[in-house]
Structure 1
């Protein structure tokens, strides 16, 4: 007798760094409910995003394709609603899944890009709001009172409770949190008062890496705004109150005489003064981490609510795959940064935990490499629904069901492409590359900055190679090192083959790969 098709519950946060889930062991915060998924299922240490920005990542998850195929290549891209996706296959396949999308969509607004393949959908417009958020439905837009994470969970629980119990379901529950500007629920404002340890690379000088790392404008010390940190933004010009950002918020200035700076808590009116630039930078870091982690606390609480509902019905719990992830990673002060956008590990790595009692041994850990394009094929595999030929990912169901600690999965090269050529907010340069179990190769092609093919302050094209075993913090680019000549050529060949395999075209000058190979 064929096994019953499982329910699939996909919970995704926005910008949730793996380090801020306590199951990953970094000691930054405590997330007991998220940890339940890992404790009762499998935790992945090497799940990677194909493009570390919200919209493209979501498109790859939904379609199982890379962004040059699904056409969603920048933050402003819109998905074509007529494109095939995993929800459509599940709903129309032999399993006749009930499908729902609730929460953050972020793949465009309007009839041409609204959620499709879903029996039910209710999504927030754009980035959404933390407090009293609006929701878009097929019937129109309405606003609801409350905190976004609670409301999205309420709607998800209600949909599960009112489903047809005779058919399997597929639910995408997408949270806004912990996206910038990190506005927590009032009940969590007291949390994380004790100082959080600064990352070892907080004062990174970027001297041994590509110029792209040096010029990026996403430093905690220099590029956070009053709004980011919940501080009063005074009136005045740039010299007095800081550079204006794209949304009108201003960056907190770093005056030469920091004793002249007075920052005020927007809620309590508490006044903060400083005696050194280092003290100011560390204040910004602590304030950032408090706000970020408090929004995660609400996610953890609400994941607990969902797990409790499932566990109240043992048969439902046994037959439901619960997945928790984020649309990409996030910098928590590593290399002095916040935000994402880079192929460096903290941004590139997605948290991934999966619970499925029918197949997954509790407490298992996977160190093989998987990617977000692999999600859709995996779900179809579990649903006993044919994986369509257009999908470019690979089902990793065999990893989930394996109790063998030896790497039995073929080492998969993970590919990344950053398509937004000019990021006017963060000056994050365009790049692509690949990673295997030990090495990471990155090619910075940097188009769209000033004169085509050049940029101020450095070379116009750069390569990086990191030995992730000997240099896990990614501080030393060894691309030009004599010891790594053979590895440069091997990783370049891997990248070349992967690009051919997925039908992508390189944007480098002819002969650059040949130049890399000639280093042998």
Structure 2
């Protein structure tokens, strides 16, 4: 009897320890599969659910995304999701390792991430997840198997839209067709092969990065839609034309729309076909998201699979006379964020609290019941969905570091729920201040006005607070500014016509 009781106690103790050590995702015992999908340069309003919500103010009411709308109706939509740096490689690195770019080593588009950085993928893999990456990695022109993932089918740098070579675990192989179709097929094949295991799949699309090339099936889908000019098209950014750069700026990827003054046309008129092609590409993305959802349905994996959809940054289509991204205006820094998890999350929920791409990594670990590393600076937004969050953020620091040879200066900004302060270090005269509660389109700069003094004081204090909280520095791996002997940005030489 003594031996029996001893064995029983040992077994009971072992079971208790096992129960304590076993990662549990909230109230569910089974850890979920996780599929993280993100696009390139997708504006927050490039979703038909947002266009419908905007009503008469919608700029692209003809655009439809039924599969992304399905995610929104069957899950949660974050209506105030932002990036902390609106540039591809910096944003993608932040999504991976949950750190600000002034600390994580990636401050531009030409630096690789080949080290042993702790990411959501490394931590999920250690916890027993199968981890795979498909599509656009874009840490400079980094090649090889993607760090942190046990399997990858990815392309180098920007790749190409059609017949793009794909590196399978670092070994180049040819592909045929539109690249985002190919990446989706590869991801679906992987899901089918590992349907009996717990997996993390990251699917990163090339769309909608320029030069915009939609799949052939959508080449003319938006050929006849009416394009609307943005309300701020004639409002210039304060630095426009003020920085010397060897790069010719244009409406596709450049910051200036200088050519508009030569043609006499507006930014929108000069770039109509590019806008149509962009939305054709995003339409292709929507269809591929639908393919993933149907695969989960057919395999009966939909209930216990988290599907997250987002973007690496926004994009300008003429707002403030700009193309590209980088600047701190809303169209550049706001992104879509949708999440569906039928086994745990409600349907059709909308959340207006501020969430960041910085939060992706800790959220993925939280979903798997894994403690986030101390290096992660973001916060899991799972408690927001479950209405358990306490002291959630009401502001965040935005940063951008000058990148050769573009003409967007280094930016340091604070964005709260109702206001925004934008600073350009070394250029006090360019500072901007907006009361977003009254001026959501950022049309009236209050920085030098008496009416803006109270808001300016408040946001300057908040900016200082966030700089300290995030350990802000101008990193030595950022590109050098093109400055003159006074420490100011070099100005272009103006031709004087007698």
Please give the range of the TM-score, normalised by the shorter of the 2 chains.
0.7 to 0.9
CA deviation after TM superposition for structure 1 residue 506, in Å: 6.4
Aligned equivalents of 1:465 and 1:28: distance in 2? Answer: 33
2:299 matched to 1:299?
A: no
* Residue equivalent to 1:514: none
Q: Larger deviation: 410-419 or 286-295?
A: 410-419
Any conservation in 1 of the 2:99–2:376 contact (CA below 8 Å)? Answer: yes
* Residue equivalent to 1:387: 372
CA deviation after TM superposition for structure 1 residue 461, in Å: 5.2
* Residue equivalent to 2:172: 141
* Residue equivalent to 1:6: 32
* Residue equivalent to 2:17: none
Out of 368, 371, 384, the position equivalent to 1:399 is: 384
Out of 467, 471, 480, the position equivalent to 2:439 is: 471
2:397 matched to 1:415?
A: yes
CA deviation after TM superposition for structure 1 residue 114, in Å: 4.9
2:304 matched to 1:285?
A: no
* Residue equivalent to 1:271: none
- Cα gap change, 1:2 to 1:401, in 2 (>3 Å): closer
* Residue equivalent to 1:77: 111
Which stretches in structure 2 are left out of the alignment for 5+ residues?
1-26, 52-57, 476-498
TM-score (norm 2): 0.82
Aligned equivalents of 1:213 and 1:470: distance in 2? Answer: 25
2:200 matched to 1:170?
A: yes
RMSD of aligned alpha carbons: 2.6
CA deviation after TM superposition for structure 1 residue 396, in Å: 0.8
2:329 matched to 1:344?
A: yes
Any conservation in 2 of the 1:411–1:437 contact (CA below 8 Å)? Answer: no
Which stretches in structure 1 are left out of the alignment for 5+ residues?
229-244, 246-250, 259-276, 446-452, 454-458, 508-520
Any conservation in 2 of the 1:201–1:336 contact (CA below 8 Å)? Answer: no
Any conservation in 2 of the 1:368–1:409 contact (CA below 8 Å)? Answer: no
Deviation digits for residues 197-219 of structure 1, max 9, x if unmatched?
Answer: 3233253233xxx622565899x
Any conservation in 2 of the 1:192–1:290 contact (CA below 8 Å)? Answer: yes
Any conservation in 1 of the 2:267–2:318 contact (CA below 8 Å)? Answer: no
* Residue equivalent to 2:7: none
Aligned equivalents of 1:471 and 1:170: distance in 2? Answer: 41
Out of 50, 59, 71, the position equivalent to 1:37 is: 71
Other structure's SS at 1:318 match: coil
Deviation digits for residues 46-101 of structure 1, max 9, x if unmatched?
Answer: 111011000000000000111122110111121143111110001102xx111001
Out of 189, 209, 212, the position equivalent to 2:239 is: 212
* Residue equivalent to 1:335: 320
- Cα gap change, 1:217 to 1:368, in 2 (>3 Å): farther
Aligned equivalents of 1:176 and 1:2: distance in 2? Answer: 35
CA deviation after TM superposition for structure 1 residue 285, in Å: 3.2
Out of 219, 227, 250, the position equivalent to 1:223 is: 250
- Cα gap change, 1:2 to 1:34, in 2 (>3 Å): closer
Aligned equivalents of 1:3 and 1:131: distance in 2? Answer: 43
CA deviation after TM superposition for structure 1 residue 195, in Å: 3.5
Other structure's SS at 1:495 match: helix
Aligned equivalents of 1:22 and 1:31: distance in 2? Answer: 5
TM-score (norm 1): 0.79
Any conservation in 1 of the 2:90–2:108 contact (CA below 8 Å)? Answer: yes
2:216 matched to 1:186?
A: yes
Other structure's SS at 2:468 match: helix
